[in-house]
């Protein structure tokens, strides 16, 4: 408990989806000094804002989760924003944190950094064995450059920077905006909208063949904080559940859990995205004792229940 109580934390992206779970988990561990910067006050793309944030907070440990994120549609529409904003937010912040004497910098990367085609399950050693899937390559590469930077700064300056690779996340408080949401909230919203409107067709992008691995957000937060406390090495680490599910099966489960009983229509004019995703999670287990605990269907029910309550509250 002293580790958490005695440190000052800056959690960028701490008011976002995953960030709220990380902040809650920090508080449960006894952390007292937690600062969550907001972009309106601290635009991390600007050096002046980065320097001001470090001066204002004097952090011991930084957990950097701030990111511009979205599903396939958003990545295709705004690839330049996804590259520039994510790269600049991270690289300036890490550089100035090193110069300011920050004790530890925890970078939250993305499974999108992996090559499009790589043996299943994804092992950290294969991270450089090819180019990422095209629809999210600018985002994935911007994040992967922070791994390169962290390793270089460790080599030259002895800077304690670690890099974590979480898989696709889901959970209550996720983003349900159709323009920017990821696959699970997008499908839940579509299914509930169709059910309430009496529409008997649910149109889904692609052909249903790709697979994904999903990790409950609260589990991801636990993995991040275990690494923050216990991991101090140069190698990247996967944070995942180890469970793989096809998009076709995912849609079937969501239809069942939401009560949608219509037909599933596959729009094959739209992209599938990466063919398969499943992480090898052995390094996280061995290095800092992380294993996910939330079963997928159980977590999915929690998301649907939360979203239905939010819809009712809006009405």
* Residue partners of 156: CB distance under 8 A and separation at least 6: none
Q: Which of the 8 DSSP states describes residue 29?
A: T
CB 34 within 8 A of CB 56: no
Cα 180 from Cα 85, distance rounded (Å): 16
Strand 8-12's sheet: what is its strand order? 33-35, 8-12, 61-64, 104-108, 161-166, 237-239
Q: Which of 21, 42, 114, 139 is catalytic?
A: 139
Q: What is the radius of gyration, based on Cα positions, of the chain?
A: 19
CA torsion sign, 64 to 93 to 180 to 110? negative
Cα 63 from Cα 144, distance rounded (Å): 16
* Residue partners of 34: CB distance under 8 A and separation at least 6: 9, 11, 14, 23, 26, 27
A 10 A CB-CB count for 42 gives: 21
* Residue partners of 312: CB distance under 8 A and separation at least 6: none
Residue 165's SS3 state is strand
Q: How far is CA 129 from CA 33, 119, 284, 300, in A?
A: 40, 10, 21, 33
Closest CA to 226 of 242, 237, 235: 237
Catalytic residue at 131? no
CA torsion sign, 234 to 240 to 242 to 248? negative
Q: Which residues are catalytic, by number?
A: 139
């Amino acid at each position: 408990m002293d580790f958490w109580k005695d440190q000052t934390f800056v959690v960028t992206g701490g008011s976002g989806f995953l960030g709220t779970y990380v902040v809650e988990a920090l508080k449960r561990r006894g952390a007292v000094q937690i600062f969550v910067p907001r972009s309106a006050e601290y635009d991390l793309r600007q050096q002046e804002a980065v320097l001001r944030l470090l001066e204002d907070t004097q952090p011991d440990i930084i957990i950097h989760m701030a990111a511009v994120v979205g599903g396939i549609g958003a990545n295709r529409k705004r690839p330049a924003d996804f590259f520039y904003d994510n790269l600049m937010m991270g690289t300036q912040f890490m550089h100035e944190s090193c110069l300011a004497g920050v004790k530890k910098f925890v970078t939250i990367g993305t499974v999108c950094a992996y090559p499009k085609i790589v043996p299943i399950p994804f092992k950290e050693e294969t991270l450089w064995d090819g180019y990422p899937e095209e629809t999210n390559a600018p985002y994935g590469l911007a994040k992967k450059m922070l791994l390169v930077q962290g390793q270089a700064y460790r080599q030259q300056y002895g800077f304690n920077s670690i890099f974590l690779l979480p898989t696709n996340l889901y959970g209550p408080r996720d983003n349900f905006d159709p323009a920017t949401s990821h696959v699970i909230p997008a499908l839940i919203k579509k299914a509930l909208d169709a059910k309430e409107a009496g529409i008997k067709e649910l149109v889904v992008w692609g052909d249903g063949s790709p697979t994904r691995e999903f990790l409950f957000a609260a589990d991801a937060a636990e993995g991040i904080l275990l690494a923050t406390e216990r991991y101090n090495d140069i190698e990247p680490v996967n944070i995942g559940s180890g469970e793989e599910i096809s998009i076709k099966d995912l849609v079937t489960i969501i239809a069942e859990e939401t009560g949608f009983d219509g037909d599933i229509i596959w729009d094959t004019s739209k992209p599938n995205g990466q063919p398969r995703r499943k992480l090898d999670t052995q390094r996280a287990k061995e290095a800092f004792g992380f294993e996910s605990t939330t079963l997928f269907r159980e977590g999915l029910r929690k998301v649907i229940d939360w979203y239905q309550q939010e819809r009712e509250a809006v009405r």
